[in-house]
Amino acid sequence: MRDIRTEEMLLNMGPQHPSTHGVFRVVIRTDGEMVLETESHIGYLHRCFEKVAENVSYVQVVPYTDRMDYVCSMINNLGWAEAVEKLLGIEAPERAQYIRVMVAELNRIASHLLAFGTYGMDIGAVTPFLYAFRDREKILKIFEKLCGQRLNYTYVRVGGVSFDITDEILKDIEDFCNYFEPDIIDEYNRLLSYNGIFISRTANVGVIPRQMAIGYGLTGPNLRGSGVRRDLRKDEPYCIYDRFQFEIPAGSGEQGQTGDCWDRYMVRIREMTQSIMIVRQALKGIPSGLHLDKKLQLKVKPPKGEAYHKVEGARGELGFHIVSDGSEKPYRVKTRGPSFCNISVLDELTRTGKCMVADMVAIIGSLDIVMGEVDR
């Protein structure tokens, strides 16, 4: 009898696939269920953000930053606004700074909730997704009250924030903090984090060692999952983050090896607790006063020069490099997007020879990429 002939199969995952989290295509070379090699294809969502930014004024760029990492627009706005402020050599009013920290942290929670929910769905548990959306909805409601938008806020502007925060909204934020922490996070942990099947699916899967994480330029929860405690809010404080007490959670290989999918997942869950802590402190300290330098909205004309500013987004380091030629429009804008760098590690992770097709989904989900930012 002749030997049974087997052959490798090329499998297209995406661009339309529920687990690629956007329009992302991975070509997988499989041997049965085993993944031998993958090749990532990006660019389906490219819309020339950097070129567009050269053709509109500094204030008009803000809505375009919304659409980069569309699940944490506030932090994108913040990054842009602070970069321009750095170029102008000004600082936003005190009250605006507090509001910025609050909305940024709330948006970080909303973003991590989405990551938590969709990750549960990737692993096959649908219920956590809807639990996460139940709570994300509360944050979106607050933002809706604040600026009328639920996803693309354009809230943080050059020189402040677009609308002042009212006492009612402050009360809503406080209610949300009390509702969310610690009860809801405990619920998530009981439902998914410490579920045996979930741990067996994520622990020791997609391990990113410390060196590899640094080598690939990973940032955000993906870097901290590998045990590197780097967070711009602590290491290079921007805005007023140096006034708040909080911790940087990092992966420690609690369920498997340091830097596996479970570690990255858990860093996000723990960061939500820290974000709530920051919001609570900001609620206590918020001063009265101006929320926006209104004159700046009409004409932003920075002097000749360039500035680079980076902030800690929900997915990692988000940097804007702006070159000004002294006119009303930026001469050149370069963005350092966290998802774009984070996604580069994917092909390396799947080349271990131990990765199965189901692990592909777990790994992509744990990297928590937003294709809107990868392609820009």
Partner 1 sequence: MASIPLFLSAAFHSCWLAQAPALETSKSSPNGLEALLQRLVHSYPAEGTWWGAIAAMLIACLAVFAFLNLFALFAVWLERKVSAHMQCRLGPMEVGPHGVLQTIADGIKLTVKEDIIPRVADKVLFIVAPIIVFTGTFIRFAPLPFGDYLVASDLNLGLFYIAAVGSVEVLGVIMAGWSSNNKWSLFGTIRTATQMVSYEIPIGIAFVTVAVSAGTLSTMQIVEQQSGWFWHWFVFRNPFLMVLSIIYLIASLAECKRSPFDLPEAESELVSGFHTEYTGIRFALFFLSEYAAMYLVSGVAVVAFFGGWYLGIPVIDRIGAAPDSSALAFVIGLLIKAHVLIGKAVGLVFVQMWVRWTLPRVRLDQMMSLCLKVLLPISLACLVGSALWDLFMGSLASGKEYSMFFWLE
Q: Which residues make up the interface to partner 1 (CB under 8 A)?
A: 9, 11-12, 17-19, 32-33, 120-127, 130-131, 134, 191-192, 195, 197-198, 200-201, 356-359, 361
* C-beta of 34 vs 52, nearer to partner 1: 34
**Distance of closest approach, residue 199 Cβ to partner 1, in angstroms:** 10
Rounded least distance, CB 304 to partner 1, Å = 51
Report the residue number, 49 or 131, with the smaller CB distance to partner 1.
Answer: 131
HSE-up (13 A, CA, CB side) for residue 143: 27
For the bound state, the minimum distance from the C-beta of residue 57 to partner 1, rounded and expressed in Å, comes to: 43
Shortest spacing between CB 113 and partner 1, in angstroms:
14
6-13: list long-range contacts, CB under 8 Å, 24+ apart. Answer: 6/31, 6/32, 8/36, 11/357, 13/360
Residue 51 C-alpha from the chain's centroid: 23
Angle at the Cα of 148 from the Cα atoms of 142 and 153, rounded to 5 degrees:
85
- Token duo for residue 322: 């702006």
What are the beta bridge partners of residue 330?
A: 324
- CB of 10 or CB of 151, closer to partner 1: 10
Within 8 A by CB and 6+ apart from 367, the residues are: 222, 264, 342, 343, 345, 346
Nearer to partner 1, 178 or 200 (CB): 200
In the complex with partner 1, which residue's Cβ is closer, 119 or 241? 119
96 vs 364 by CB, closer to partner 1: 364
3-state secondary structure of 81: helix
- What residues pair up with 25 in beta bridges, in sequence order? 41
What is the CB neighbour count within 10 angstroms for residue 298? Answer: 8
Across the chain, how many H-helices and E-strands are there?
17, 8
Residue among 301 and 354 whose Cβ is closer to partner 1: 354
Query: What DSSP letter does each residue of 299-356 carry, written as one string?
Result: ---PPSEEEEEEEE-SSSEEEEEEEE-SSSSEEEEEEE-HHHHHHTTHHHHGGGS--B
Element (H, E) at 40: strand 34-41
State the minimum distance, in angstroms, from the CB of residue 187 to partner 1.
11
Shortest Cβ 181–partner 1 spacing (Å): 19
State which residue, 125 or 158, has the beta carbon closest to partner 1: 125
Report, in Å, the least distance between residue 354 CB and partner 1. Answer: 10
> Under a CB-based contact definition with an 8 Å cutoff, are residues 337 and 49 in contact?
no
Pairing of strands 156-157, 330-336: unpaired
